[in-house]
Amino acid sequence: MNAIKNRLVNKFQVGAGLVFGVCSIPAHFWDQEVLNLPVKNQTELVKNISSSSQDRERREKLASLLVEQNPKRVLVELPETRAARQIGVLGLSTEERIQRARIQSQFNQNAEVLETLQPVENADLNCEVSYLKSLSFRRMRRYSEAREQLKKALSICTGETLKKAHYLKARLAAMHSSEESLIVLENFLSKYPTDVLTDDVMLWKAHVFMDLNQTASAQKALSEIIERFPQGDMSVQAQFERAFNAIQWGDRAEGLKLLEKQSTPQARYWFGRLLLYPDLNSYQGEKAALGEPEKGRQVLQNLAHDFPTNLYGYLAAQHLKELSVSKPLKSAIPKSKTLTENPTYQIFRCLKRKKQDSEAVWVLDRLVKENPSEADRIVLAKEYLDLKKPEKAHQLMRRAGLAFPRFPTNKKSFFYELAFPDAFPELYQSASLRNALPSELIRGLSREESQFDAQIVSWAGAVGLCQLMPQTARKSSIELLNPLVNIDTAAEHLRALFDDLQHPILVIAAYNAGADSVKRWLKKMPNEVPVDFFIEQIPYQETRNYVKKVTEAWFTYRWLNRDLELGLLGEKPLIKSLSSGTKVSVAPSSKG
C-alpha cells in the first residue's frame, strides 16, 4: 500500500486530484503533500500536524519525509522524533536549540529539553534557557534544580518570560504552606494584579492560609477571587470552599446560605446532605436536631435524578436508598446534512467502504480540523469508533465539552457510547476476572489516565493506557506500551491496593497519590469517616478531582452495562480505619 502511494505521490501537483481505487482524493489530504509544497509553505503544515500530541505515528511519518528535503526543519519545527535522533543536533545554533527546546517543552519531552540545552554556550546568561530548564526540572519533580535555574531566570528575564518565571516560583512556593510561601505568592499578585493567572495564585494563597489555620484570611482571599474574577475559572471552586469552610469553622447558617445559592452538583449535594445529616463527620450525631430532613431529602432526590452517574448524585441516591436511573437503550445518532454534502466527508465514506481504513482516518482527522458543529462532532466520533479508534472518538467528545454529558437519558444514550467507548473490552474483562475487580473500574481509570491512547507517555514518564511508571510496574516503557501488558499490570496493582486499603475510594486516591499518602491522611481522621467528607478533605486538589472523575467514569460504565446499583461505596458510604478490617466488596460486575 505505501509503495503504491509513494509512486503516485510523485505524479500529482498541489491542488490536483489523486485517484485511489475509485475514490478521488485531492492531493492536500496526504501527508506526502509536504514534498510538493514550496519550502516557505512547509512550516505551517508541519506546525499543523505536530500540534497533535496524541498522533505520534503520523508525526513520525511526516518527519521521515521532511528529513529528505530539509533536515534542519525536522529538528527545529517538530518535537523529538526518530528522524531527529538519527540526524543529531550538533550543527544547530543557540537560537535553533532554544526553538527546538520550546517545541519539546510543549510536548512535555522534559529530558529531551535538558539534553538539547545542555551544550548551549553562556547558558547562565540566557533567560529562556534558564526558564525552560526550570520548567522541565519542575515537571520531573527535581525541585531543587528547578529552583536553582529559576533563580537565574528571575535575575535576567524580562517581559512575558519573567512573568512565567514568577508564576512558576509561586507554584513551587504553594507546595509548602509557610509564611515564606505567602510572601512569594503576594509578590506575584502585586506584580500582576489583573493577569489571567492571578486568580490561580489567589486560590493558592487561600489554601496556604487554610493550612496555617488562618481562617479569616483564607475566607477573605476566597471572597476576593469571587468579587474580582466572577467569571474566572477559579470562581466556582472559591464559592464552594468559602461555604464549606464556614460550616467547618462553626458558621453553619452562613455556610448553608452560601451553598443554597450555588448550582453545581457538589454544592447541591452538601446543601441537601447537611439538612439531612447536619454533622460533617457523621450521618447521625448530636447535631441531628439542627437538620431539616424533609427539605434535605427533596434536594438530594432532585440531584440524584439529574446526575445519577455523578459522584454526588450517586451519594445522594445512596442516602435515599433509591437509585432512580433508567436503563440505557440503544438510540441512533442523527444524520448530518452538512456532513453529507461535504466533499471531504464523501471521500472519507468512499475510503471507508473500500476498507482503506488508515487513509480514511487521515481524511477524518482533516474533517475534525474544520471546526465542526456539535452535531457533526458526534457523527465524526462515531466514525472513529467504527474504525477502531476509540481514543480519537473519546478525545473528540472531550474537546467538545461532552466528556461527562449531564443527563443519561435514553434519547441521548449515544452521547455516552461515544464519550465512554468500549475500548479493549476483552483485555479489561480478562484482567477483571483474574484480579477479582470490576472491569468498569479499570476501564474508567484508563479513560481518565490516558483518554485510551495506548501509546501516550506523560511528562512525568508514565506510560500507556493506565499511565504506569516503569520503575513502579517493574517493566520497561516498551513493554508498557502494549495494551495487554499495561492493563494486566495496572489490574494487579489495583488488586494489591484493594487488599491493603480495603475501600475503592482509598484505592483510587492511592493510584494517583500513593498508598503512603492515603495512610497518612487517614491517621488525621476519626476511625470512621463519611466518604463524602473524606474526599473533600484530600489535601491534594489533583487527587481530589481524580477520585471524582474516576469514580464517575466507573459508575457510568456500570450504567452502560446495565449494572449500576447502590452499595458500590459500601452500604453506608463510610471509610473505616484500616485496623477495623472492614472491607467494601469490589468483585467483578455481572458483565465481567
Q: Specify the number of domains making up the chain.
A: 4
Pick the last residue of a domain from 320, 348, 366.
320
Query: Over the stretch 348-388, which tens digit does the pLDDT of each residue have?
Result: 898 898 888 887 888 888 888 888 888 899 999 999 999 99
Cα 115–chain centre separation: 27
Cross-strand pairs, 17: 26
Quick one: 566 and 438 in the same domain?
Answer: yes
Query: How many C-beta atoms surround the C-beta of residue 343 within 10 A?
Result: 9
Q: Is 562 left (phi over 0), alpha (psi -120 to 50) or beta?
A: left
Domain that includes residue 473, residue range: 425-580
| CATH number, position 229 | 1.25.40.10
Q: Are 182 and 217 spatial neighbours (Cβ–Cβ below 8 Å)? A: no
Whole-angstrom Cα distance, residue 352 to residue 349? 5
Position 279 in a domain: yes
Quick one: 448 and 469 in the same domain?
Answer: yes
Helix (H) or strand (E) holding 575: strand 574-576
Quick one: 315 and 361 in the same domain?
Answer: no
Highest mean pLDDT among 341-350, 548-557, 582-591: 548-557
Nearest to 570 by CA among 512, 482, 507: 507
Quick one: 178 and 239 in the same domain?
Answer: yes
Nearest to 412 by CA among 375, 452, 451: 375
Query: How many C-beta atoms surround the C-beta of residue 432 within 10 A?
Result: 23
Quick one: 356 and 490 in the same domain?
Answer: no
Query: How many C-beta atoms surround the C-beta of residue 19 within 10 A?
Result: 10
3-class DSSP string for 180-240? HHHHHHHHHHHHCCCCCCHHHHHHHHHHHHHHCCCHHHHHHHHHHHHHHCCCCCCHHHHHH
Q: Are 508 and 584 spatial neighbours (Cβ–Cβ below 8 Å)? A: no
Whole-angstrom Cα distance, residue 455 to residue 477? 10
**Residues 118-149 as b or e (16 or more Cβ within 10 Å = b):** eebeebeebbbbbbbbbbbbbbbebeeebbeb
Position 41 in a domain: no
pLDDT, residue 50, reads 46
pLDDT, residue 282, reads 84
pLDDT, residue 1, reads 36
Q: Establish how many alpha carbons lie within 13 A of residue 76's alpha carbon, considering only the half-sphere containing its beta carbon.
A: 16
Whole-angstrom Cα distance, residue 31 to residue 416? 33
pLDDT confidence tier of residue 40, bands split at 50, 70 and 90: very low
Spatial CB neighbours of 195, under 8 Å, sequence gap ≥ 6: 163
Cross-strand pairs, 385: none
Query: How many C-beta atoms surround the C-beta of residue 362 within 10 A?
Result: 18
pLDDT, residue 508, reads 98
Quick one: 395 and 353 in the same domain?
Answer: yes
Quick one: 344 and 285 in the same domain?
Answer: no
Spatial CB neighbours of 95, under 8 Å, sequence gap ≥ 6: none
Query: Over the stretch 318-339, which tens digit does the pLDDT of each residue have?
Result: 999 887 766 666 777 888 888 9
Spatial CB neighbours of 291, under 8 Å, sequence gap ≥ 6: 274, 275, 276, 277, 278
Quick one: 193 and 270 in the same domain?
Answer: yes
Pick the last residue of a domain from 363, 386, 419.
419
Position 18 in a domain: yes
Position 154 in a domain: no
State residue 293 phi and psi, 5-degree precision.
Answer: -60, -40
Position 569 in a domain: yes
Position 254 in a domain: yes
Quick one: 342 and 301 in the same domain?
Answer: no
Q: Are 276 and 268 spatial neighbours (Cβ–Cβ below 8 Å)? A: no
Query: Over the stretch 334-350, which tens digit does the pLDDT of each residue have?
Result: 888 889 888 889 888 98
pLDDT, residue 5, reads 38
Residue with cell 477573605: 220
Position 458 in a domain: yes
339: its cell numbers: 456532513
Catalytic residues: 449
pLDDT, residue 2, reads 42
Percent of the chain with pLDDT over 90: 51
Spatial CB neighbours of 239, under 8 Å, sequence gap ≥ 6: 222, 226, 258, 261, 262, 267
Quick one: 532 and 392 in the same domain?
Answer: no
Check residue 327 and report its DSSP letter: P
CA dihedral 413, 415, 421, 422 (to 10 degrees): 10
For residue 285, pLDDT over 70 is answered with: no
Pick the last residue of a domain from 365, 395, 419.
419
**pTM score, two decimals?**
0.84
Residue 503 to residues 193, 518, 567, Cα–Cα distance (Å) = 44, 11, 12
Residue 18 to residues 11, 15, 34, 426, Cα–Cα distance (Å) = 9, 10, 15, 39
pLDDT, residue 306, reads 86
pLDDT confidence tier of residue 261, bands split at 50, 70 and 90: very high
Nearest to 246 by CA among 273, 271, 219: 219
Quick one: 439 and 410 in the same domain?
Answer: no
Quick one: 185 and 268 in the same domain?
Answer: yes
pLDDT, residue 532, reads 95
Q: Taking every pair of C-alpha atoms in the chain, what is the biggest distance, in angstroms?
A: 84
Whole-angstrom Cα distance, residue 297 to residue 19? 65
Whole-angstrom Cα distance, residue 211 to residue 176? 9
Please compute the mean of the pLDDT values over residues 137-164 and round it to a whole number. 95
Whole-angstrom Cα distance, residue 41 to residue 516? 53
Whole-angstrom Cα distance, residue 403 to residue 133? 34
CA end-to-end distance (rounded Å), the chain: 39
Position 12 in a domain: yes
258: its cell numbers: 452560601
